[in-house]
Every structure is written in structure tokens, then in C-alpha cells.
Chains A and B, each alone.
Chain A
């Protein structure tokens, strides 16, 4: 045992060091942030480096002797026969994860030094960073489900802190809250799983649980598997809880790289791989895992295909890749999933770390359709990004996705289907990664008509330090590439080194996936559509019309809007989950609304940013480049510069209606605006007519707002106001400026595309579109009338005849109840009545 002692110590230190760095930095922060930033960064980076070296040592030990071993630190929690230790399980799986976590966190911490050094909350960032690494290590090294949960929750908090790092932006703070609450929903499932485990096995330690697996039946295993899966869905941003990931891009880019790409979001995959023996007992749960993964991959691919902001695309790509990992798990190919996880960590952190440099170059233009730089200006970054994108594409293929060479025997049809889903997703990754690259660097000509107001023609050079920082990352990618070439390939498939390494933890598994035939064919049909769409889009777009995003999808306007709006999942949750939770009474309580709105101003606009299109960070970087940073930081004062005014306008533009009705209105408004855009310079009559309609609407809406209607009306009026304002702005002719800095809303895109048609697309296109004016005007009238009547119907009926939504009733009722109960007489009466009732009840 004596030779094990240093091992135990090392393992404990690996976990303790990041915590120590967080504590030191946190204490420093607590006592007024007295250390200079050199010390802060040295503390963090050295702790992480030591931790990484320790992980390497531990990994070597694991290589030498793959037997799982446990390191018990102390007893943490116990109740009756249930015992939870603070203890670590070291085997090949956790060894790999430790390497990933400590290695990437060290690199990204080093990167952050340069990225964050102008940030006024440098110390806060690094405290959270150290804390995150600690939590993540607990997550991957813990020897029981409760330890896993500990890490699980703690990384959630760190994620909250990081997303909300720029907390004085309400949208960042809100995005953080959304992520936390969404994760909480998943965690409820996870907790349920833990209780099922605790009650069935009387233990929560992995080794003991897996040893006792034969004591439960398949149904119980399925229940446990599904409960755990819910937690994994939340953490790994799978459907249907995945919407928080896109908003999480509000955080500083290095933290996005670490938390929302390389490590934290893969925790769900880790958990499923860790519990693989449990899942193997429950084929149905595995099927659900596969389906969730497949659907998420498709969803991420479609959303990614329509987005055009760099971090948004990366987030969508992460969603897709995570979906693929889930799919692999669901197919029983755990080792493949693990390999994919590691490779994805390499590639995604690489892509993320190049993003800020690009943003530096493209300052304030996070929308890639608006880029105008050329390849010649930034050759190194161009190649770096290209290589990264290619590797990203290659992973699913190289990572053993093509299993055709492997395994005999007939596979169930759903296996092919799921494989197909993976394939198409991979294709979509190819498509939009390539697009990202070429959009950013190659497209020279298009889209700059709209943003000449900034008057910059050349990309700014990123700071040299930042350029330098690419080398470690590039080396990483090279190492990853070398891994492919050396016998690691194709990772995780049976017989390879990687699979053998994981063998003690992960039993290999034939493809157990079955499924309902109807479901299968449905999925197949969907996939066929997607194949065609993606191919055609890519071919057409990349070859002929690079300025048009999603040509095929945009033909199907509904589909395009759907993808662009991330299938409105967020809005649905906003209505179904977040709103009822958050605001049972919020919107009905006039007092509350009155006070808060007056106090905090109108909190809505910036908080409703749909995509990460133009995160504050991007603008911050941009302004930093033009020296206006300080004024942004202190933007409590009214805007003085043009830059800031644009910014404010952007925030207003980011105000998005929520909910299905809101979207119905918005989409019709978008269509209206799209038509209007074309007519605007030509048909004064229509403009006049529309102006009348819009201003009438606006006045009507304003009246509602002034009167502060509660309930659904109050909420809808905001939507309507946004729409009306939008229309008005279009009509009055501010459209040129607005379009240039447009947020990526459906309305904008529709308008933007049309603009291209007319402006850049050539005369034939323009003629064509002019040719349909007559029809469009009619359509426009109809839609406008419909919009108005829908609004009137909803508001008039809803407000005046009193049909508020359910949560409204509940919330206001509760508030009334409380008002009533708070009367002393009522309380007294209740007391007397209950005493009487109790006595009568007992005596009778």
C-alpha cells in the first residue's frame, strides 16, 4: 500500500489545486482585489498546470495498471445504510476525462490571460475559472452518483457565473439564469435517478451499483436510465432542453470554449458512458438516448445552416456534435462516443479560440454575411480556421463513424437510419463549417452596402500576443491529427487502442437498437428531405450565390424561419416553463409591474436576444478596437457616439416577440416588411397606406401600454409594439441603417435577402421580383388586415372581456388570496375554523 500513498496524494491534489487557486483569487476579490493581475493569472495557471501534470501521472499509472482504483478522502454524508464518501474513482475513463479537463482548462486559462486582461473583472473571471475546473474534476473523478451530482451542480453555477460575466448586460444575466433554470429541470430528473438508484441498490457508488445490477429488472433499469438521461439532456443541451446553449454564448469566448464546448456540456455523455452497464440492461432507454441524440443532431444541423454569426454557428455545431455522441451511446458504441468527445474537445476549443481573433478583425461585425475582409489580409487565421473546420467535419467519419468495415450480421433498419442521421448531420457540419470559413475570409464583395457607416475598410490586426496564443492550440490540433494517423484511428472502434484502453470500463456492445417501424420510416423521410435540402443548398450556394444564406431553406420560408428561430423552442419554454415558474403573478400584479418597470426601466429589450448574433462581447471587442470601450462600459450615460447609438438601436432591434402568437404576428410582419422593402422607393401610395395602418396600430398599442394592461395583454402589447415600431421604422425610411446592423431575426433576413436581390443580384432578379409586385401588394394587404384583426381580437377579447391565460388566473388568484389572508380577521377566522374542524373531526 505504501506505493499507493503518493498516488492518493496526487489524486487529491489534482482536485484540490484548482480549488485552492479559486479560493486564493476569491479571497483576494473579497478583500478588495489587491493583487495585480500577474499574480492572479500565475496562481490560476500554475495550479492548473500542476493539476494537468498530476493528471498525466495518474493516466500513466492507469496505463500501467488499468484496474480501477478508489481514493477515499473522507465521509461526507450518510443516512442509515446509505453512505456517501468524498472519494474518487480512477480508471481509464476518468483518466481520459481528467486529461481533457485539466489540459484544456490550462490552455484556455493561458489564452484567457491575453483575452481578458483588459477586463475590469479579471479576478472574478479567474476565480470562477478555478472553481469550474475543480467542479468538473469532481464530476469526472467522483466515485458515486452523488459526487457526480455535486460536480454537476457546481459546474452549473460556474456556467451561470461565466455566462453572466458581463452581468450589467441584462441579456447576459438573463441568459445565465435561463441556463441555470433549464439545467435545474434536467437535474430534477437526475435526482430522481439517484433516488431510484439509492432505494434499489442501497448504495450510490458506481462499483457497488454495477455489481448489484442483476438485482433489478429491466423496467427499473429503464426508469433509472431515463431519469438519468433527463439530467444529461439538460446538461448536454439536447432536445428538448437544449435551448440555453445558444444563449450561453453571452459569456466571454474563452469560457464558452471551455464550458460550453469542450468540457461541461459533455458531462451528459460522460454520465451515460459511465453508466453503460446500466444502460445495456435497458435497451429501451438506449433507444431513447439514440433518438434524442439523432433529433438533436438534426436540429443543430438545421439551425446551424441558417445562422450566420460566428458563435451561434459554433454553438449549433456543438449541439450537433453532442447529438452525435448521444447517438453513438444509444447505439451502444460508447468507446466511439468517448473518442468523439475527446476529438470534439480539441476541435471545438480550437474553433472557439480562433473566434475572438476573428472578431477582433471584424470588429462589431459578428454577422458573417456582413464581412468584407479578404483572405490576403489575414492569412494565418484563415488557414487556422480552415484546418479547424475541416477537422471538425472529419471527426465523425474518422472517429469510426463508418462502421461498414466492421461487424457482420444484419443490422436493424433503425441502425441505418440513425447512422444516416449522423451522416447528414456530419454533412451539415461540413456545409456550415466550410461556410463559416469562407464567409469570413473569402467572400469579398457582398453585403457591405449596408454598413458603410463605420468607414473602415481594413481588418484590424489582432494583438500579437493573441496571434502567438494560437500556437499552443495549433499544436494541440496537430497532436490530435497525429493521433488519427497513429494507431488511434478509427478511434473507439473495436480492436483499436482506444477501445482496448476503455475496455475495463466500457463493455463493447453490438447494436441493440430496435424501434417502431413507423417511427423509422418517418425519420427516414425526414432525413431524405434534409439530404436533398442540404446538398442542394450547399451546391447552389457555395458555387453560385454565396451571399444568400440557405437558398433552399429560404424557399421554404416557414422552414427557414423555423430553423432561424431555433424552432421557437425557447419561446415555447418561455411560455410553458419559464414564465409560469417565474412569473405566476409577475405580469398580473400591477404594483409589481409598475414599480419594477419604472425602477429598472424596460428590462425587456436586451434580454430577449434570440441568437448570440451580436453579443455584447463582440461589440465590446469592436469598440475596444476603435477606442470607445470605456464609454460602453459606462453606458449608463446617454449615447454620444454614432457607434453607441447603433448599439442601442441594435438592442432595441434584438427585442423579440415571444411565444407562438407573437411569432405568428412577427412572421406576418416580416413578410409585410419584406414586401415593403421592395416597394419602398417606388410605390408611394402603398407606403402611405401602410403608414396609416401602422401608425393606427401603433397608437392603439401605445394606448394599451400607457394603460399598463396586465396579463397576456400586457405581454402581447409589447410584441405588437415591437412589430409596429419595426414596421414604422421600415416605412419611415430608416431602413438602410437598420438593415446594415440587423440582428439575425427572421424579419431582417427576409429583408436582407431581398435587398441582395435588388441591390446585388442583378437586373433580371430585380425585374422578376418587381413582376410579382401586384400579387404581393394584395397579399400584403390581406396579411396586414389579418394581423390587425388578430391583434384586435386577442386584445379586445382578452383584455376587455377578461380571458387571461391560465397562469394569469393562478397568479392573480394567489395574490388575491394572500391579500385576503393577510387580514387579521381572516387569519383569526381561519384559525378558529380549523380548530373547530380539527376538534370536531377528532371527536366524531
Chain B
């Protein structure tokens, strides 16, 4: 895997990625000082606009495998502050920034109390997520990965809407901690191996690429990392925290959280497959199997849900199955499809969750017991739900189609059964989505005498909601109708990844070319 590094100082003249991490953190701190709620809200809003603008400026180099905007300096114990983006991670940064902005836009209706602290939690979530997406040092990645738990926990317990939110948050943090511990074990194993090979920066991704690994170690590391990421993703059977968290958690804040989940599958593409390619090749069938099971299982459970938020949790599980099938096809098309699908589902999943939030603010709970006939009383809201849902189904013209299509091509190259599984997934998705749309959005409003807020009296989409829905729909159609820029951006890195998988990591530099990391350290 031949990765050049382009330093941020050379490319843009300032440490852009650090700025992306510390801008939200800075606003967070300022919010701690500013007591005025209105001003605080304006600050957070414009801050996240700036963050999005900055993230949009991340230069997408097409057809390039280079690590860009690199910043690195050593910390302690072999750990490095090493940031950089390439085709794999570049798209997640603007995605995170966009969804944070949209969530903040909807913060006031969503958080009934303590809006300022709510904003702080959101910004904290954003900072840790961006940090995790741009980390090139495994230990740094792990730190961000763990740090993300704190704002999440706060969001769930403080602004969660369910009765059992504390329980859910506790469960979430516990199981995440367990996963993180296992992941840490895997990272330490890699580090020890590197230090035996006499490397200095033992957790650095690029350094680790040059260190040969025995098959057995690879498998061990693979599973350790797998558990951490599988719980995050989530992958069947480690998904059980998610329905609770999504059901009990905050209304809209969870939308960004859903993007955070992509860290799970992102981790596979970023670290697991390149670092332990042979183990990945050995165990790909297990991953594909888990993906398929999760896909069918999630869809089946989603079909009988009455609560939209719970349904989205299982839909998310089902979609992760498709992504896993794509990634573990271990070929170029599969990687492309998996990565594109992560972006798509980040948008579509978050979008549907936004709509669940809109419904929540109107009706109290997006449940079939109060839904029905939404289309008649709030046609635009229902249409938005339909459009975003169609992206999840993978209809041509939406991003979902391109992603699913590529996953299928990739899967087909491995085994036709895997392609078939993906195909089944699309049919099932259509079924549960349309079932919910039919029961909840079409038909007649259900009489719910106990509740003063009914579908019949609720307002249609509001201005802010319209901005959110339009932005998401535009993204969906952009990816769907012109996925060229996205595919070109990820092209180079994924080709390098495919090459790496083919070469393997057991053999040392005699055959595999050494990584040409510029030996000269960053000057300043």
C-alpha cells in the first residue's frame, strides 16, 4: 500500500483538520461561558455553519490515494497526533458537519430544556466524531472513539424522551466500553508487534502497514478489532443496545449519532482490512454471513414495529448488513459500494430520524397508535418521508441505488449467493418501509381521544424542517444522479486498498514495497 502524505501546511497553509476538530470544541467552551441562551444558540448555529464551510473546503483529490492535510507530531508512548484524510475518510467529515448543522437548527424544538447544554453535547459529539474520522493513529482513533461516549451518554440521559432512558444509556455505555476494551487489546497487540519490529511510532497506521504480521496474530487482532467495531456498527448479534437507545434517546440528536455509527463500518475499511488483510480474507465469509443474517433479521423485526424510531433502529441494522456484504467482498466494487452506502445511509437514516423527530414534536411519539392519514393532513411531511425512504430502498436516482448496485457487483464477483442476499435485502427493505408508510402515513387518521395532539390537527412541515428536509433530499439526489465526484474521490484510496488485500501482510518488504512515508518530519 503505497501512500504518499501531503502535509496540511503545504496544501492549505494551516492545520485544517485540527481546526475542524477544535472549532466545535472552542464553541463548546464558549457556550459554557455565555449564559444568554439566544446568543448561545446563534453562536452554535453560525459556528456549525463555519464548520460545514470548512469541511466543504477539504480538497477532494480525485483518483488519488494520497493522505492529505496531514498533521503529525509525536505524543507519548509511541502514540502520535497524526491526522489526515484520504478517499475513504474525506466524505465523512462534511457529512458529519452537515448533519450537526441540521440538528442544531432543530435544537430548540427538540430540546425542551437546557438548550445550551444540549448544543454543547452536540458539538462535543461532532468534535469527537470528526476526530475519529481523521485520525491516522490507532490509539488516537481509539481515544476519540471512547470520548464519543460522553456526549452520547449525556444526550440520552438528559434529553432522552423515554422512561427508561437511563437504563438504555447505561447499557449503551457498558457494552461500548466492553467493545472498546477489546478493541484496545487488538490495538495493543498491533503496537507490540510493531515495537518488536523496532518501530518508533507503534500505533501509526502508516507505520503498521509496513510491519509484517503472522496469520495467527492477524486473526486475533482481527477479532479484537471486530468486536469493538461490530458493537458500534452495530452488527448482529451485538445490536441490541440500538433499539433502546434510539427509542429512549433524544429526538433529533440521534441523527448525528447515526452517522457516528458509521465509525463502526468505517473502521473496517480504514484499519482492519488494510492492517490485517489476510485475516480479512480468511474470515470474510463470517462477516458476510453476519451481514446477511443481520440484514434479514433486522428487516423481519422492522416489519412488525409500530414505533418509527424502533423501526429505524432495526432498519439501520438491516442496512449495515448490506454495507458489510459490500466491504467484505474485498474487491474494488464492493469497497466502493460499501463506502457509498455508508454515506447514503448516513443521510437517509438520519433523514428518517429527523422526520421521526418532527412527528414526535407534533404527536408525542411516532407510533402507529397515533399515526395514520399523515399524508392527508401534512402532505409535504409525508412526501419527504417517502422521498428519503426511497433512498433507503435503493431506488434509481437516489444514492441508495448506486451504492446497492456497486455492492451487488462486488458481492457477485465473490459468490452469487452474496449478490442474492443483497437482492433479498432490497426487497425486504421495500416491504417494511411501505408497510409503515401505508399504515402510518396513508389511510385515515386514527382516533386517539386521549391525546390532544392528533394527526388531524397537526401542522404540516415548518420552515426549519423544510430546510432540513430539502438539504437532505438534495444530497440524496445529488449522490443518486451524479455520483461521479463521490466515486472519483474514493477511487484512488480504494484501489490501493484492493491492492493491499491482494498482496497481504504476512510477507515482509522483500516483495511488498515499503510505504514511502516522507521520512522528513513535519518541519515545525
Write the residues of chain A forming the contact surface with B, with a CB cutoff of 8 angstroms: 29-30, 74-80, 82, 121, 124, 146, 149-154, 157, 164, 167-168, 170, 173-174, 177, 180-181, 184-185, 188, 191-192, 195, 198-199, 581-586, 589, 591-592, 595-596, 598-601, 603, 636, 810-811, 814-815, 818, 821-824, 826-828, 830-831, 834-835, 838-839, 841-843
Instruction: List the B residue with the shortest CB-CB distance to A830.
Output: B237
Write the residues of chain B forming the contact surface with A, with a CB cutoff of 8 angstroms: 171, 174-175, 178-179, 182, 216, 219-220, 223, 226-227, 231, 237-238, 240-241, 243-244, 297, 300-301, 303-306, 332-333, 336-337, 367-373, 375-376, 379-380, 383, 390, 395-397, 401-402, 405-406, 408-409, 412-413, 419-420, 423-424, 426-428, 430-432, 434-435, 438-439, 442-446, 448, 466, 481-484, 487
Q: Which residues of A contact B439 (CB under 8 A)?
A: 596, 600, 603
User: Main SS of the interface on chain A?
Assistant: helix
Does the CB pair A76–B397 fall under 8 Å? no
Does the CB pair B396–A595 fall under 8 Å? no
Q: Which residues of A contact B219 (CB under 8 A)?
A: 841-842
Q: Which residues of B contact A583 (CB under 8 A)?
A: 303-304
Does the CB pair A815–B484 fall under 8 Å? no
Measured between alpha carbons, how far is A827 from B177 in the docked complex, in Å?
A: 13
Partner of A29, one of B371, B379, B397, B413: B379
A183 nearest CB across to chain B (Å): 9
Q: Which residues of B contact A585 (CB under 8 A)?
A: 300-301, 303-304
B520 nearest CB across to chain A (Å): 35
Measured between alpha carbons, how far is A826 from B332 in the docked complex, in Å?
A: 37
B394 nearest CB across to chain A (Å): 9
Partner of A827, one of B238, B379, B405, B445: B238
Measured between alpha carbons, how far is A687 from B414 in the docked complex, in Å?
A: 68
Question: Given A177-B434, A582-B303, A584-B303, list of 14 further CB < 8 A pairs?
Answer: A74-B484, A150-B396, A150-B401, A173-B443, A180-B430, A191-B405, A191-B408, A595-B368, A600-B372, A603-B439, A814-B297, A822-B243, A831-B238, A842-B223
Does the CB pair B237–A184 fall under 8 Å? no
Q: Which residues of B contact A818 (CB under 8 A)?
A: 240, 301
Does the CB pair B396–A154 fall under 8 Å? yes
Q: Which residues of A contact B420 (CB under 8 A)?
A: 192
Q: Which residues of B contact A821 (CB under 8 A)?
A: 237, 240
Does the CB pair A600–B483 fall under 8 Å? no
Does the CB pair B333–A80 fall under 8 Å? yes
Q: Which residues of B contact A828 (CB under 8 A)?
A: 174-175, 178
Q: A180-B430, A596-B368, A835-B223 are in contact. Are A168 and B444 (CB under 8 A)?
A: yes
- Report which residue of A170, A185, A596 has the largest number of chain B beta carbons within 10 angstroms of its beta carbon: A596
Q: A583-B304, A824-B171, A835-B182 are in contact. Are A79 and B333 (CB under 8 A)?
A: yes
Q: Which residues of A contact B434 (CB under 8 A)?
A: 177, 180-181
In the assembled complex, 23 residue pairs joining A and B whose CB atoms fall closer than 8 Å, in A order, are A79-B409, A79-B487, A149-B396, A168-B375, A173-B442, A180-B430, A181-B434, A188-B424, A191-B408, A195-B412, A582-B435, A599-B368, A599-B370, A599-B371, A600-B444, A600-B446, A603-B443, A824-B175, A831-B179, A834-B227, A838-B223, A838-B227, A841-B219
A29 nearest CB across to chain B (Å): 7
A494 nearest CB across to chain B (Å): 37
- 7 nearest interchain CB pairs? A838-B223, A150-B396, A585-B304, A842-B219, A173-B442, A599-B369, A167-B442
Instruction: List the B residue with the shortest CB-CB distance to A149.
Output: B396
Q: Which residues of A contact B445 (CB under 8 A)?
A: 636
- Report which residue of B182, B396, B413 has the largest number of chain A beta carbons within 10 angstroms of its beta carbon: B396
A735 nearest CB across to chain B (Å): 30
Partner of A75, one of B227, B369, B423, B484: B484
Instruction: List the A residue with the shortest CB-CB distance to B304.
Output: A585
Does the CB pair B175–A581 fall under 8 Å? no
Measured between alpha carbons, how far is A77 from B401 in the docked complex, in Å?
A: 11
Does the CB pair B395–A157 fall under 8 Å? yes
A253 nearest CB across to chain B (Å): 20
Instruction: List the B residue with the shortest CB-CB distance to A86.
Output: B481
Q: Which residues of A contact B304 (CB under 8 A)?
A: 583-586, 589, 592, 811, 815
Q: A583-B304, A834-B227 are in contact. Are A168 and B427 (CB under 8 A)?
A: no
Instruction: List the B residue with the shortest CB-CB distance to A199.
Output: B412
Q: Which residues of A contact B216 (CB under 8 A)?
A: 842-843
Q: Which residues of A contact B432 (CB under 8 A)?
A: 582
Q: Which residues of A contact B241 (CB under 8 A)?
A: 827
Q: Which residues of B contact A824 (CB under 8 A)?
A: 171, 174-175, 240
Instruction: List the A residue with the shortest CB-CB distance to B371.
Output: A599
Does the CB pair A581–B227 fall under 8 Å? no
Partner of B369, one of A29, A195, A598, A811: A598
Q: Which residues of B contact A177 (CB under 8 A)?
A: 434-435, 438
Measured between alpha carbons, how far is A184 from B434 in the docked complex, in Å?
A: 12
Q: Which residues of A contact B419 (CB under 8 A)?
A: 192, 195
Q: A79-B333, A80-B333, A830-B238 are in contact. Are A195 and B409 (CB under 8 A)?
A: yes
Does the CB pair B409–A198 fall under 8 Å? yes
Does the CB pair A584–B409 fall under 8 Å? no
Does the CB pair A811–B300 fall under 8 Å? yes
Q: A595-B368, A824-B174 are in contact. Are A79 and B227 (CB under 8 A)?
A: no
Measured between alpha carbons, how far is A76 from B486 in the docked complex, in Å?
A: 11
Measured between alpha carbons, how far is A815 from B305 in the docked complex, in Å?
A: 11
Does the CB pair B446–A599 fall under 8 Å? yes
Measured between alpha carbons, how far is A146 from B404 in the docked complex, in Å?
A: 13
Instruction: List the A residue with the shortest CB-CB distance to B396.
Output: A150
Does the CB pair B243–A154 fall under 8 Å? no
Q: Which residues of A contact B438 (CB under 8 A)?
A: 170, 173-174, 177
Q: Which residues of B contact A75 (CB under 8 A)?
A: 484
Instruction: List the A residue with the shortest CB-CB distance to B481.
Output: A76
A496 nearest CB across to chain B (Å): 36
Does the CB pair A76–B483 fall under 8 Å? yes
A267 nearest CB across to chain B (Å): 14
Q: Which residues of A contact B226 (CB under 8 A)?
A: 838
Measured between alpha carbons, how far is A835 from B428 in the docked complex, in Å?
A: 31
Measured between alpha carbons, how far is A192 from B412 in the docked complex, in Å?
A: 9
Partner of A595, one of B306, B401, B427: B306
Q: A153-B396, A195-B409, A828-B178 are in contact. Are A599 and B372 (CB under 8 A)?
A: yes
Partner of A76, one of B380, B412, B482: B482
Does the CB pair A822–B244 fall under 8 Å? yes
Does the CB pair B333–A584 fall under 8 Å? no
Partner of B220, one of A170, A589, A810, A839: A839
Q: Which residues of A contact B446 (CB under 8 A)?
A: 599-601
Instruction: List the B residue with the shortest CB-CB distance to A593.
Output: B304
Does the CB pair B427–A188 fall under 8 Å? yes
Q: A184-B430, A599-B446, A835-B223 are in contact. Are A77 and B402 (CB under 8 A)?
A: yes
Measured between alpha carbons, how far is A30 from B348 in the docked complex, in Å?
A: 19
Does the CB pair B220–A181 fall under 8 Å? no
Does the CB pair A79–B443 fall under 8 Å? no
Q: Which residues of B contact A30 (CB under 8 A)?
A: 380, 383, 466
Does the CB pair B444–A595 fall under 8 Å? no
Measured between alpha carbons, how far is A150 from B402 in the docked complex, in Å?
A: 10
Measured between alpha carbons, how far is A839 from B240 in the docked complex, in Å?
A: 23
Does the CB pair A77–B483 fall under 8 Å? yes
Measured between alpha carbons, how far is A600 from B466 in the docked complex, in Å?
A: 28
Instruction: List the A residue with the shortest CB-CB distance to B435.
Output: A582
Does the CB pair A77–B368 fall under 8 Å? no
Measured between alpha carbons, how far is A821 from B243 in the docked complex, in Å?
A: 12
Measured between alpha carbons, how far is A82 from B430 in the docked complex, in Å?
A: 27
Q: Which residues of A contact B231 (CB under 8 A)?
A: 831
Does the CB pair A827–B406 fall under 8 Å? no
Does the CB pair A600–B427 fall under 8 Å? no
A621 nearest CB across to chain B (Å): 20
Measured between alpha carbons, how far is A77 from B404 in the docked complex, in Å?
A: 12
Q: Which residues of A contact B297 (CB under 8 A)?
A: 814
Q: A79-B332, A815-B301, A827-B238 are in contact. Are A582 and B431 (CB under 8 A)?
A: yes
Does the CB pair B423–A188 fall under 8 Å? yes
Q: Which residues of B contact A830 (CB under 8 A)?
A: 237-238
Measured between alpha carbons, how far is A837 from B370 in the docked complex, in Å?
A: 45
